[in-house]
Structure 1
Amino acid sequence: MAEERAEPQVADPQAIIVGIDGSRASRNALAFAIGEAQAMGRTIRLVGAYTIPSVAAATIDVSYVPIDDSAVRAAVTASLKEAAAEVRAAGVGVEAVIEIGDAAGVLVEESRQASLAVVGSRGRGGFAGRLLGTVSSALPAHSLAPTIVVPVSWSLDGQRRPEVSSSQPVRSARGADFEQGGDGETYPGLDFSGSVVVGIDALGKDSPALWAAAEIAVRRGTPLHIVGVITTTVVGPEWLPSASDMKRFVDEGADKIALAAAAVAQQHPELTVDWTLFDGQPAEVLVRASDTADILVIGSRGRGGFAGLLLGSTSQSVLPYAKCPTMVVRAKREG
């Protein structure tokens, strides 16, 4: 008879876990997590991980000298103690764990007993390098808790402004088409300051990301802004849409996003819900929304895998460039 795996003993199985490595990115992640812990009434579990280099010599005769990991462990411990002091100073309960192993795998395992996972987009040492980083790619793809990636450029008091976009806003909750400036190739970016922004796709009101974003907005007491994207770019003479075709595409996209907004408003009547439909590329629209949004929420229907770190094309394209904390919500796939 197979034995059931015992869960590790933790002080709070609903804690917010935060990957800590002493880098600026992990400090940003911690600052964000403290605010969420205060709002949610949760504690924080700090997680430090490190690997021990190994030496393999199958064809030569060498004497093996065990590697002393005390210096590495001491450095990780110092980072955790510093982070724990910051959490306690904010009046939030805290615990810390140190594990030997790949940081991504350690955090995924810790997410089994967590209400939220928060990680920085870049780090060093165990969380290191690689444009986005193994952890901030693998954790959203495999975490058993909702995951938020905090970019290294983000700060609580940072001043941000919208950048120009190559995607055009074409319809909004106000009902009228946009009539704003632009040279036909770029358009003024919209300002989403003070809002939680969520991107929805063909799932519409059934998108898990939509409802995760609504819960965040309710908890934070901020408006929710839903964005949807259609793509009407003409790529060749094989398809030249008529004016009536273009209007139909816009109407269908607007109807789907309006139904999603209405469903949220019915479920959360206290929440201010707005929406905008864009014509362009989904990843570009979401990255530009992150220029000013408080939090960006995106869905992913990609198939995760530690080999490929697949999150789905849109989320993979958004995470490396997002300017604000970004939650990835995985949609269950059929089959």
Structure 2
Amino acid sequence: MVREQQVPEVADPQAIIVGVDGSKASRHALRFAINEAQALERSIRLVGAYTIPSVAAATIDVSYVPIDDSSIRAAVTATLKEAAAEVKAAGVPVEAVIEIGDAAGVLVEESKQASLAVVGSRGKGGFAGRLLGTVSSALPAHSHCPTIVVPVGWTAEAERAAKHSSSRAVRNQRGDLVEFDESLESVPGLDFAGSVVVGIDSLGKSSPALWEAALLAEHRGTPLHIVGVVTTTVVGPEWLPSTHDVQRFFDEGSGTLEVAASAVAQKYPQLTVEWTLFDGQPAEVLVRASDTADVLVIGSRGRGGFAGLLLGSTSQSVLPYAQCPTMVVRVPRDSR
């Protein structure tokens, strides 16, 4: 069923909403959403949006010549019907809406009655015509539910390998101190294949991103890997960390991750939970984790280890380079 949205009520207020524009990235996002809907036992609400072009009369101060939008509406309707047929074929309940307006604004409004939003990182017009522009940055910033951005080149079947990184793993859930050659500018990245990876900061077990990631991993039947970052890089002569300082940073970071992992394991006893502490730059750690992770989960703002990664800088520093579907979870401003 394709309908034009007239009232705020929807068939399923916990549906997964998917921005659809017919592009390759949009189709990949839809396939990802179908898999999530099957795992989470949710329905899908397809959303199509378009703006009505107008031509300003050059000789009149305020005058516009309206353009017939019937052909535009017909094209959007055809795209949604095709997408709806794919969802139905997968055995997932589906509805579709067409709305007039800016795509980002339409999706933000739709997210008020959804459990998850999924969009592609690039498309043609409509939802994702601007590379990591309005939709994939504005939607995570203002969405009322977690948002997953699917990279334009991503497919579930693609083989991916861990890349080298200048950020180094220093501790893990076994309590090991990871040794590495200080003379090396980069080290091989970790392989997170088959896992949901979540980056957390000093909020630790209170991080909304942690619990969204745990729920996602539990429903997908995959391990959860929690990562944290401390930065001991010297940025100027005014501060040179001592060996004691570095050890304290590592101990505090490890403690936060261990407590978070224990809390998740207690709530989801069947879930395999691991953690790794890195010394380096948060954005690089997250991007390198996305090289092999099934899904990367990040908070929309951070403190402590992820300080400075507010939503704007997160989307600019991580989303453009993420190699796997990335979930952005908004963190309330009053979180402590």
Fold shared, TM-score > 0.5 on shorter chain: yes
Q: Secondary structure at the match of 1:55?
A: strand
Gaps of 5+ in 1: 1-5, 303-309
Q: Which residue of structure 1 aligns with residue 227 of structure 2?
A: 227
Helix, strand or coil for the counterpart of 1:17? strand
**Equivalent residue letter for 2:102:** D
Alpha carbons of structure 1 residues 132 and 235: separation in structure 2 relative to 1, 3 Å: same
RMSD: 2.0
Matches within 5 A, 1:216-255: 216-255=216-255
Q: Percent identity?
A: 77
1:42 aligns with 2:42: yes
Distance in 1 (alpha carbons) for counterparts of 2:207 and 2:73: 42
Classify 1:243/1:91 alpha carbon distance in 2 versus 1 (closer, same or farther; 3 Å).
same
| CA shift digits 1:29-85 (9 cap, x unpaired) | 100000011111111111000111222347438985430112211211111111111
CA deviation after TM superposition for structure 1 residue 115, in Å: 1.6
Q: TM-score, normalised by structure 1?
A: 0.91
In the TM superposition, what is the alpha-carbon distance from 1:145 to its structure 2 partner?
A: 1.7
Tell me by how many angstroms 1:128 deviates.
3.9
How far apart, in 1, do the equivalents of 2:110 and 2:51 lie?
Answer: 17
| Residues 236 and 301 of structure 1, relative CA distance in 2, 3 Å threshold | closer
- Aligned mates of 1:315, 1:101 — CA distance in 2: 23
Q: What pairs up with 1:298-309 in 2 under 5 angstroms?
A: 298-301=298-301
Q: Answer yes or no: is the 8 Å Cα contact 2:56–2:64 preserved in 1.
A: no
Letter in 1 for 2:186: T
> 1:14-93 residue pairs with structure 2 within 5 A?
14-57=14-57, 59-60=59-60, 65-93=65-93
Deviation, 1:319, is 1.1
- What secondary structure, in the 3-state scheme, does the structure 2 residue paired with 1:260 have? helix
8 Å contact 1:261–1:273 — kept in the other structure?
Answer: yes
Farther off after superposition, 311-320 or 270-279 = 311-320
Tell me if structure 2 keeps the 8 A contact 1:209–1:298.
Answer: yes
Distance (Å, rounded) in 2 between the aligned partners of 1:261 and 1:146: 21
Residue aligning to 2:152: 152
> Displacement, 1:252?
1.3
Q: How many residues align?
A: 323
Tell me the SS of whatever aligns to 1:127. coil
Q: What are the within-5 Å matches in structure 2 for residues 245-284 of structure 1?
A: 245-284=245-284
Secondary structure at the aligned position of 1:171 is classed as strand
Deviation at 1:91, TM superposition (A): 0.9
The answer as to whether partners of 1:283 and 1:315 remain within 8 angstroms in 2 is no
**SS in structure 1 of the partner of residue 55 of structure 2:** coil
Q: Which residue type is aligned with residue 130 of structure 1?
A: R
Equivalence map 1:54-203=2 (5 Å): 54-57=54-57, 59-60=59-60, 65-180=65-180, 183-203=183-203
User: Is 1:317 aligned to 2:317, yes or no?
Assistant: yes
Measured after TM superposition, the shift of residue 246 of structure 1 is 1.4
Tell me by how many angstroms 1:334 deviates.
2.4
C-alpha displacement at 1:184, in angstroms? 2.3
* TM-score normalized with structure 2 length: 0.91
